[in-house]
Structure 1
């Protein structure tokens, strides 16, 4: 009766290889880079006089995307926190934000967090064994 279902979207199977862990991080890197592009486009449309800030956003999100692609725990946590803070800002201001995109991003980043932490754990165990 208390059997845990281990093969679903919220509790997937344990990540056991570096390749699988990296595959979990790739969508997070793509979505993070997409957030930089969307932020840049937002600056072009709504704040053309502050275009340099949009470019700075693009660079920052791009660097986080590269960090996530390289399985960095710091980058994935920072990307998630930045998105949550940005989402809170959009919620308190009268700007439009898609709830569907937010849901996809949060789920993708949770998987990326899981993948990055699993990657580092597997790498540590591998190096410990050598």
Structure 2
């Protein structure tokens, strides 16, 4: 059985060629006083996953894009802070599918460099 590094909406998708997790602090308010000292009201720490895929078959691309079609969905991924697989709720940013090309040695049409960001709710 193959292992997958990314499960979106319960669907194991093809392993990305590029995968980056950004840890984001979310502030309700951040201000500096007269001495320049920062005062912040951090309300949450969230994740943003930036991923890009190697050439995807038409079916793989469709499966991937359909997995992120809902407003919010779960993503299971390897989290660098947790040091283990984590499941969180995300939404997707713009989906880029830049080039449909025929790759003769792979035997068909492929979408190259599909990419998007997943942002934790």
- Shared fold (TM-score, shorter chain, > 0.5): no
More helix per residue: 1
* TM-score of the pair, normalised by structure 1: 0.23
Higher relative contact order by CA 8 Å / sep ≥ 6: 1 or 2? 1
More strand per residue: 2
* TM-score of the pair, normalised by structure 2: 0.25
Larger Rg: 2
